[in-house]
């Protein structure tokens, strides 16, 4: 089964090791199509992956980048009807045979449109990779000052390699595995800069009929701290022909609040399968009062 792999990379020295590990750990690397949105300043050498037959590079001057959602939108536009979609960041490590294991886990849910997603455990390229880590589920930890839910995570109870994926409420953008139709039905919103990416993506996916699950075993690891890496917001402070990140974030916040409260239908709005109200009731989110009441236990309604 073919898998479309989306990797947005902003001046990231971990890009090459991530792509190499993705291919090396796959049971069927020939079934992968890895599309990279490579945002750089001409100071990176990616020759080790640029000519690989499974890899397509979308190249952009980093000064013109408008953030992660902008980059992921560019990648989704390159989707070519692959059966599955995997989205990870450009600083990721993979479990052995991750491809067949993710497909098997997704199929085991019984959902016609399953999503596997969570915040993966950490790895550090400066340390020996041990493959340690536990499966977790996403929760709402708090609300930002401008009214957007912010995630937390906690250990997933009863997790293990023989346990089916657990129904979840929220998805994480750094690890998302879904049917390939996701790229067309839930296109990325390039006007979201940072805050609001995951909650709006969750809401839109649910209204398109996707069912969210947390995997009960670890398939990928994520490099979180990256103190030695440039960030989009440290580069884009105005000048040098680049947009100011603060302006992008301010515009994005207004856009996110509008999408949360008054989403349009289709496009980067809600889908036609389930209503926004049903999602609010399903997750326990109250955007007006900025409150989350956790359902006990979370249950999914299959279409």
Q: What is the mean pLDDT of residues 16-21?
A: 98
Please state the rounded mean pLDDT for residues 50-76: 96
Q: Look at 176 and 262; give whichever has higher pLDDT.
A: 176
pLDDT tens digits, residue range 111-126? 999 999 999 999 999 9
What does the pLDDT average to over 249-277?
91
Stronger pLDDT, 249 or 10, i.e. the higher one: 10
**189-219 pLDDT, tens digit each:** 999 988 899 999 999 999 999 999 999 999 9
Between 31-40, 100-109, 219-228, the lowest mean confidence (pLDDT) is in 219-228
pLDDT of residue 240: 65
Q: What is the pLDDT of residues 141-164, one digit of tens each?
A: 999 888 999 999 999 988 988 899
Of the chain, the percentage scoring pLDDT greater than 70 comes to 96
Whether the full predicted model's pTM is greater than 0.85, yes or no, is yes
The string of DSSP codes covering 129-170 is: -------EEEEEEEE-TTS-EEEEEEEPTT--TTSPPEE-S-
pLDDT band at 302; cut points 50, 70, 90: very low
Print burial letters for 40-68: b (CB count within 10 Å at least 16), e (below 16).
beeebebeebeeeebbebbebebeebbbb
Q: What does the pLDDT read at residue 242? A: 73
Least confident of 9-13, 190-194, 228-232: 228-232
pLDDT grade for 300, boundaries at 50, 70 and 90: very low
Confidence class for position 299, pLDDT limits 50, 70, 90: low
- Given a cut of 60, is residue 303 above it in pLDDT? no
For residue 301, pLDDT over 90 is answered with no
Q: Among 54-68, 154-168, 219-233, which is the least confidently predicted range?
A: 219-233
Of 119, 33, 115, nearest to 81 by C-alpha is 33
Q: What residue spans define the domains of the chain?
A: 3-226+233-292
Under the banding of pLDDT at 50, 70 and 90, the label for residue 228 is confident
pLDDT the model gives residue 247: 85
Q: In which residue are the tokens 């980093």 written?
A: 62
| CATH architecture classification, 3-226+233-292 | Alpha-Beta Complex (3.90)
* Average pLDDT over all residues of the chain: 92
* Rounded mean pLDDT, 1-28: 97
């Amino acid at each position: 089964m073919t898998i479309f792999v989306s990797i947005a990379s902003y001046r990231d020295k971990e890009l090459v090791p991530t792509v190499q590990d993705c291919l090396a750990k796959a049971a069927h690397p020939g079934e992968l199509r890895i599309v990279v949105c490579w945002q750089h300043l001409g100071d990176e050498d990616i020759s080790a992956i640029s000519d690989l037959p499974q890899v397509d590079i979308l190249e952009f001057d980093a000064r013109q980048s408008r953030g992660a959602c902008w980059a992921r939108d560019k990648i989704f536009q390159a989707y070519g009807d692959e059966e599955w979609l995997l989205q990870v960041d450009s600083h990721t490590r993979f479990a052995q045979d991750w491809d067949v294991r993710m497909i098997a886990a997704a199929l085991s849910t019984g959902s016609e449109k399953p999503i596997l997603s969570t915040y993966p455990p950490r790895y550090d390229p400066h340390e020996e990779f041990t493959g340690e880590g536990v499966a977790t589920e996403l929760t709402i930890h708090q609300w930002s000052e401008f009214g957007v839910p912010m995630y937390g995570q906690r250990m997933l109870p009863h997790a293990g390699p023989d346990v089916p994926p657990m129904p979840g409420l929220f998805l994480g953008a750094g690890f998302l595995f879904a049917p390939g139709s996701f790229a067309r039905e839930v296109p990325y919103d390039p006007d979201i800069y940072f805050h609001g990416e995951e909650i709006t993506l969750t809401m839109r996916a649910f209204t398109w009929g996707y069912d969210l699950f947390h995997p009960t075993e670890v398939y990928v690891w994520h490099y979180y701290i990256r103190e030695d890496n440039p960030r989009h917001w440290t580069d884009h402070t105005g000048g040098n022909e680049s947009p100011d990140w603060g302006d992008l974030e301010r515009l994005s916040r207004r856009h996110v609040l509008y999408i949360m409260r008054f989403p349009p239908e289709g496009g980067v709005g809600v889908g036609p399968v389930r209503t926004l109200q049903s999602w609010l009731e399903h997750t326990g989110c109250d955007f007006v009062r900025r409150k989350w009441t956790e359902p006990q236990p979370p249950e999914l309604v299959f279409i």
